[in-house]
Amino acid sequence: MGVRVREKVEGSGEWWVFINHAGQRASKKVGSRHAAKEAAKKIEREIALERFNLQEHQYRTPITFQEYAEKWLAGYVSTNLKPATYDCYKKGLQKHVFPVFGEVILGEITREAVKEFLYAKRASGLSARSVELIGVTVGVIFNHAKEDGIVTFNPAERIGRVVKVEKGKRHVADFLTADEARIFLETVREYYQRVFPTFATAILTGMRRGELAALQWGDIDWQGRFLTVQRNEYQGKVQSTKSGKARRIDLSDSLFRILGEHRRKVAEEALKNGRKMPEFVFTSEKGEFRSGHWIWEQFTKANRKSGLRRIRLHDLRHTFASLLIGNGESLAYVRDQLGHADIGMTVNKYGHLVPGANRQAMNRLDEQIGLGITGKSAPQAHLEIIGVRNTL
């Protein structure tokens, strides 16, 4: 058992490292004598630290982090995850990780190197959450490499100990008030009439922009007065929804009428131009498919034209939720309409909007334990308490 360095053929100038470890043998061509000795030292060190993997050293050209990461993207990610997730991983790796670790041999990346890399990213001004996501991505790649037998340890394991993300903070959803929503829709109807049904649907259903783009006439139940969200569009491709599940959204009387009028207009356009009725609900005047990005562009123009504060297109989804809650609808109903996986997500995002919820909860606690001051108004009770305090 051990590691030896020698020329495989004397005088050839080609130096090899011969490994005999755990009953298995392997040899690896390295190059110069100096390079072979350095490689042997690394192997001996890995053996001592119980991090040595013989399979990794059977590569004639050891695989770099970027080579393996690109195989991971093309294989596991593209096959099992949505295109948006694929793009997110790819962009993050190309922008942040490949410039640092791209050319480094996968098995030579240490935990110390990963920690220094993440500290540097945080010091550069990147948010703790973004740095955490980068670290998690690196860790996921190494986990796959471990499963493939290429490395024996994950230098990015438990990366939360390296980058502390302050818990409890969450993005506070912005939304339009009822009056602002009315102003916005009136602006759209006056200046951008073609997309009025699109944005009326966005505000009155909470659908995402990709879901709006992918909505088909067959998804609308005119008898039951509801629509079913079962597709999403991303970069021009129609696929399953974000959650992979369909959801049913009830149609208000106004939206039912708006969509009905829109359907009649689209049918007249198709008949006039001698073409079939478009499959999708929100199309161009020529019946052409419109992507979520195009809808976002129209929203940006309409938002600016309305004179309202700048908001995101996604905030129309928050507007839908906030208006429902403001009208006293249950969080369970809001969850179902939005398609959240569980009510906890709905509560975390919109629970604070429930009107009077906190004070009602406190008053119910009074009633439960019987500490209320019976027969007296709150101001009367307050004056009595002050009087008692002044006599002490």
- CATH number of the domain to which 282 belongs: 1.10.443.10
Among residues 11, 30, 54, which one ends one of the domains? Answer: 54
List the single range of 62-71, 81-90, 168-177 with lowest mean pLDDT. Answer: 168-177
pLDDT at 41: 83
One domain for residues 69 and 151: yes
Of 295, 316, 315, 310, whose CA–CA distance to 194 is shortest? 295
Domain membership flag for residue 17: yes
Looking at the structure, tell me whether residues 187 and 285 fall in a common domain: yes
Residues 69 and 48 in one domain: no
When pLDDT is cut at 50, 70 and 90, the band that residue 60 belongs to is very low
Per-residue pLDDT at 194:
94
Tokens in use for 58? 């059977």
Within-domain flag for 315: no
pLDDT for res 30 = 67
CA distance 257 to 264: 11
Task: Look up residue 152 and give its DSSP letter.
Answer: S
Q: What's the whole-number average pLDDT of the chain?
A: 82
pLDDT at 322: 86
- Selection from 9-18, 221-230, 234-243 with the highest mean pLDDT: 221-230
375-387 pLDDT per residue, tens: 545 555 554 544 5
Which of 3-17, 34-48, 67-81 has the least mean pLDDT?
3-17
Give whole-number Cα distances, 326 to 160, 177, 199, in Å: 38, 10, 20
Dihedral (CA of 64, 66, 71, 75) sign = positive
Q: Band of the pLDDT at 8, cuts 50, 70, 90?
A: low
β pairing state of 247-250 and 226-229: antiparallel
252: domain range?
178-307
Residue 346 banded pLDDT, cuts 50, 70, 90:
confident
Query: What number of CA atoms fall less than 13 Å from residue 85's CA on the CB side?
Result: 12
Judge whether 353 lies within some domain.
no
Q: How much is the average pLDDT of 283-289?
A: 93
Q: Please list, in sequence order, all residues whose beta carbon lies within 8 angstroms of the beta carbon of residue 195, skipping any fewer than 6 positions away.
A: 188, 282, 295, 298, 302
Provide the whole-model pTM. Answer: 0.61
Answer with the residue of higher pLDDT: 350 or 187.
187
- When mean pLDDT is compared across 129-133, 228-232, 342-346, 367-371, the lowest value belongs to 367-371
Has residue 77 got a pLDDT over 80?
A: yes
* 191 compared with 147, residue with greater pLDDT: 191
169 falls in which pLDDT band (50, 70, 90)?
low
**Are 237 and 272 contained in the same domain?**
yes
- Tell me, yes or no, whether 132 lies in a domain: yes
CB contact at 8 A, 331 and 347: yes
Residue type, 118: L
Do 76 and 138 belong together in one domain? yes
> Do 282 and 198 share a structural domain?
yes
Residue 391 has pLDDT above 50, yes or no: no
**Token digits for 366?**
């009074």
237 confidence band (pLDDT: 50, 70, 90): confident
In a domain, 320, yes or no: no
Using alpha carbons, select from 216, 215, 189 the residue that is nearest to residue 200. Answer: 189
155 and 211 inside one domain? no
Q: What is the pLDDT of residue 356?
A: 54
Residues 82 and 153 in one domain: yes
Q: Are residues 134 and 251 in the same domain?
A: no
The answer on 254 and 231 residing in a single domain is: yes
Contacts of 157 (CB under 8 A, 6+ apart): 139, 142
pLDDT at 161: 65
- For residue 3, give the amino acid letter: V
Q: Which of 5-9, 51-55, 140-144 has the highest mean pLDDT?
A: 140-144
Whether residue 301 is predicted with pLDDT greater than 60 in this model: the reply is yes
What CATH number does the domain containing 91 carry? 1.10.150.130
Q: How many domains does the chain have?
A: 4
- Please say if the pLDDT value at position 293 is more than 90: yes
The whole-number average pLDDT for the span 181-196 is: 95
* In a domain? residue 313: no
210 in Cβ contact with 232 (< 8 Å): yes
With beta carbons less than 8 A apart as the criterion, state whether 16 and 7 touch: yes
Rounded distance between C-alpha atoms, residue 120 and residue 114, angstroms? 10
State whether 41 and 82 are in the same domain: no
Band (pLDDT 50/70/90 cuts) for residue 57 is low
- One domain, residues 183 and 301: yes
Q: Which of 137-151, 271-285, 355-369 has the lowest mean pLDDT?
A: 355-369
Is 168 among the domain residues?
Answer: no
Q: Is residue 21 part of a domain?
A: yes
E-only strand ranges, the chain:
2-7, 15-21, 24-31, 220-221, 226-229, 232-234, 237-239, 247-250
